[in-house]
Amino acid sequence: MRIVLTLILGFWVVSVHAAGNQALLELLRALHENGTIDRQTYDLVIQAAEQETPAGAEQLQATDETSEQSVREMIRHEIAQVTTKESKKGPTVRVGGRIQLDAATFAEDQARHNDGTEIRRARLFASGELSEYWKYKLQYDFTGTGIDGLQDAYLEYTGLDLFNIRLGHFKEPFSLQNMTSSKYITFMERGMPHVFAEGRNIGLQLHRGGDNWNLYGGVFGDGRDGAGSDNDEGAGFAGRVTWLPWRYDGNLVHLGASVSHRASGSTDTLRFRERPESHVTDTRLVDTGTFDAESFTRVVAETAWVHEMFNLQAEYYHTSVDREISTNPDLDFNGFYVEGGWFITGESMNYKKSGNFSRVKPKTIVGQGGYGAWQLAARYSNLDLDDGDINGGEIDSFTLGLNWFATEYLRFTANYVNVLEVDGGPLSGDEPDVFQLRAQLEF
């Protein structure tokens, strides 16, 4: 801005002065006095103008090197000023967030599920750069209480060739649907085996990636808030590799694998339980209850395929548990989901270089003469929490979804969830249905 201003003033004053228009020179002085241009700039401009120049366009042909020097100096001064000012301003801050509003109605079978509305997520974040190569993000979800609402709180250094370093509280690298933001998953809730994903912890992660692959690895503590009272905090490591064996335009095949190992620490116990892919109810259909665990290891095999307006995605999860009480048998749980989508309006899933799906870009926008993007989707999910002495139950579920991306930042989703069967566990035989709606905006 200042550069342009100076250039203009420089050119203008040279002309003006040459032409002897005192009134305009006074305006320049006024601009200086009211602070629009600073002293140094003003002096340089006047100095440039005071070079003897012929009237009219001829002054532009001036070969006077001093004048040229003045202008150059002026420019350099301005650029320096802008730079200084920016570095003085310090870190950049961008504020953004998301709101997700849900409503659900249930066709109950055995267990009670209350119809109702809910604010699923209401997040605010600040992110930016502390200085070149040093990025940060701080994100809070107002649906959480106290420290439990804290989401991302990390620092990232991108100045090394070999890898990027991330330090702080963020998602352990694990599974495609887990690493895809809740804003960009196809259905309202992730497929049920997401129960095995670790979520966010305080840790240190290295990431190296190319155009068609990524390698993530990190070590992590347990939670946001120090250890419990009995024992040292649990800790673990996690890693994820993604690879695109084939990519052409928007069409691609994604393959990936994740692993996460963790000492359960503190309480030396674990519990897995899951809702029927709706968060409005608090009733869990499968539930292992609390059991003793020394450590546990989870692996995921990931696949996805995008072909223009179509996509398929599937993941298989396996979890093995080493028990704390040595006489108890080790445990194996697993689950998988398969989902597919079709953009009726011709859009395509948006795969990011980081190995995850991102914001869908509608071809037309509601409010600007368009009707947005429309996507039909279906998913089959399975989660088996039965093994050894643990009878948590196995659940199969089928979901139909309709997404309406009214604009790039606004999305409406309808999901019909049909729980096909609960086999074993506290609610064996339960087969409820859910119909639910979400309005989601991000900024």
Answer yes or no whether residue 294 interacts with its own copies by CB under 8 A.
Answer: no
Please list every residue from 153 through 182 that binds its own copies, using CB under 8 A. 153-155, 157, 159, 167-169
Cβ-Cβ contacts under 8 Å for 350 (sequence gap 6 or more): 184, 357, 358, 359, 360, 361
Neighbours of 153 (CB within 10 A): 17
Q: Does 367 bind its own copies (CB under 8 A)?
A: yes
Segment near its own copies (CB under 8 A); pick from 205-213, 223-231, 251-259, 288-296: 223-231
Q: Considering only the stretches 95-103, 177-185, 286-294, 422-430, report the one whose residues sit in contact with its own copies under the rule CB under 8 A.
A: 95-103
- Of 402-421, binders to its own copies (CB under 8 A) are 406-410
| Nearest-angstrom CA–CA distance, 71 and 239 | 56
Count the site residues for its own copies by CB under 8 A: 112
Listed as own residue / partner, the contacts of 221-230 with beta carbons closer than 8 Å and 24 or more positions apart are 222/262, 222/265, 222/266, 224/147, 224/148, 224/150, 224/169, 224/200, 225/147, 227/265, 227/266, 228/266, 228/267, 230/266, 230/267
Residue type, 208: R
Cα separation, 230 vs 240, in Å, equals 32
Among 48, 188, 192, 202, binds its own copies (CB under 8 A): 202
3-state class of 147 per DSSP?
helix
Choose between 333 and 357: whose C-beta lies nearer to its own copies.
357
The alpha carbon dihedral of 7, 8, 10, 15 has a sign of: positive
Residues 32-91 that bind its own copies (CB under 8 A): 34, 36, 55-58, 60-62, 68, 71-72, 75, 79, 90-91
Looking at the Cβ atoms of 184 and 305, the one nearer to its own copies is 184
Q: Considering the complex, what minimum distance in angstroms separates the CB of residue 145 from its own copies?
A: 3
CA distances from 273 to 180, 222, 228 (A): 22, 19, 22
Residues 97-156 touching its own copies, rule: CB under 8 A, are: 97, 99, 101, 103, 112, 114-119, 122, 124, 126, 128, 130-134, 136, 138, 140, 142-147, 149-150, 153-155
- Judged by CB under 8 A, which stretch of 182-190, 196-204, 306-314, 390-398 contacts its own copies? 196-204
Is 206 a binder of its own copies (CB under 8 A)? no
